[in-house]
Amino acid sequence: MADVYDYILTTGVIVSDTEAINTDVENEYLQAFGNDLVTTPNTPQGVLITAETAARVAVADNNAALANQINPNVAGGVFLDAIMALTGSARTPATPSSVTVTIMGVEGTIIPQGSQASVETTEAVFQTTESVTIPTGGTITVLMTSVDDGPVSAAIATLTQILSNVPGWESVTNPAAATLGTATQSDEQARFLRRQTLAAQGASTAQAIISALYLVPGVTSLSFLENIAATTQTIEGVVMVGHSIYACVAGGSPLAVATAMQSKKSAGAAYNNGASGAYGGLNISQDVVVPYSGQTITVLFDTPDIIEIGVSVSVVITQPVQDPTTTVQQAILNYANGLLSGLDGLTVGANVSPWELAGAITSQYPGIYVQSLQIKSTTLSIPLQYTEIAIAPWQMAEIQQTAIIVTVL
């Protein structure tokens, strides 16, 4: 067999060359049976050549897929986990959903830890996190978590089916909906995290601070600015004192974020709050005790204002899909959530482009032709338009499925 790999140096991706393999098989047949052998696919020998080519391509594809696992830009699964571990990062693990329930029963009844109940409509199972005893009055409030990790839902008053056989436990219900858990990061999200944390072992540089922030549990995206001048400057709309940094961080606890910033910034550099706060964001002022000096330093940063984006898209379906409206909506949400290869999605400070949204649809579903796509923001009082909506460093755009209006032409 000849060289079955095509080395694409510009991308580093290794792919099998089906044409070269097919030519090899044809030549082997011609050498064995003579150069006058007809090898067209509609002949018996042509069918055999095609089958042999398919078998060899399957092996080559498997080898190419394995070879690509050394490339961090395309690696996946445990291979990607191993590459991330080299720089001290790891994909965010899945977390269970949680819900506070009201349990009623006979006074003195012990509800053991791990006792289970389920949602009446979906049969999703939740279990108690601790052992409790029903007190006088026959009612007690208990925290339960889903048996399965991820966004397991339980609407108000639906967690009512007792599964565990506990004599004296008479009823259970949830006065409020469950707080949804999170699924483990996909390969695309993990690759994004790795790219953002490559400088985690450094200090003082902007990339080192950004890397440290992305390693804070719960942080999903951020924006970062620095003022290298000795005087107060306005940079991208943020007023920054001399020799200072600014960060707007989505997710993570204030103390963990502040600690990460303090541990990586240059000594003596100041902090700033920005303009966050108009649409739900916060100006955070968090005290951090420096472990080496014992000094308490007040760290300033922002959480992002959420800018709601609406989408109006008209499409032509050239290849059948089961549900065009839902398919288009999900394609846009995949882009927004950073699930597409090479695209970060709607992160803090990232502008919203109708062209990128349209491209996200066609790249995932080539059989859907986007005739028109407009975006708007009720938050910023911007009507439907074909042009990009600018998002400030202290803002983060968000698209809800209900805000995506799809017209199938």
204 & 297 share domain: yes
- Matching residue, tokens 């070879």: 67
324 & 277 share domain: no
Domain count, the chain: 4
What does DSSP say about strands 282-289 and 296-303: parallel, antiparallel, or unpaired? antiparallel
203 & 295 share domain: yes
Q: What does each C-alpha distance from 150 to 81, 153, 230, 347 come to in angstroms?
A: 19, 9, 48, 22
Average pLDDT (6-21) is 74
Identify the domain boundary among 303, 326, 348. 303
Question: Which of 350, 337, 349, 354 has its CA nearest to residue 388?
Answer: 354
pLDDT of residue 93: 80
248 & 314 share domain: no
The three-point CA angle 245-280-400 to 5° equals 110
Which amino acid is it at 169? W
* pLDDT tens for each residue of 331-358: 999 898 887 877 888 999 999 999 999 9
Give the span between the Cα atoms of 28 and 1, in whole angstroms: 10
Token output for 180: 């949804």
315 & 290 share domain: no
Residue 120 domain-assigned (yes or no): yes
Residue 186 domain-assigned (yes or no): no
Question: Which of 394, 396, 395 has its CA nearest to residue 272?
Answer: 394
Average pLDDT (145-166) is 90
Residue 135 domain-assigned (yes or no): yes
Identify the domain boundary among 303, 331, 365. 303
How many Cα atoms sit within 13 Å of 171 on the Cβ side? 9
Q: What does each C-alpha distance from 270 to 262, 296, 303 come to in angstroms?
A: 10, 14, 18
360 & 404 share domain: yes
Identify the domain boundary among 255, 288, 303. 303
17 & 112 share domain: no
| Beta pairing partners, 286 | 299
pLDDT of residue 95: 85
299 & 311 share domain: no
Residue 180 domain-assigned (yes or no): no
In the chain, DSSP finds a helix count (H) and a strand count (E) of 8, 21
Average pLDDT (257-266) is 88
Structural domain range at position 100: 96-173
347 & 399 share domain: yes
298 & 313 share domain: no
Count Cβ atoms within 10 A of the Cβ of residue 332 and give its class: 0-12 exposed, 13-18 middle, 19 or more buried.
buried
Q: In the structure, what pLDDT confidence band is assigned to residue 277 with cuts at 50, 70 and 90?
A: confident
- Matching residue, tokens 């150069």: 35
Residue 378 domain-assigned (yes or no): yes
288 & 329 share domain: no
Residue 132 domain-assigned (yes or no): yes
Residue 272 domain-assigned (yes or no): yes
Average pLDDT (104-130) is 92
370 & 357 share domain: yes
DSSP track, 216-229? STT--EEEEEEE-S
377 and 354 in contact (C-beta within 8 Å)? no
pLDDT of residue 8: 63
Give the span between the Cα atoms of 281 and 305, in whole angstroms: 4
pLDDT of residue 269: 86
pLDDT of residue 2: 47
Share of the chain above pLDDT 70, in %: 97
Q: Which helix (H) or strand (E) holds 30?
A: helix 18-33
Average pLDDT (196-207) is 76
Residue 188 domain-assigned (yes or no): no
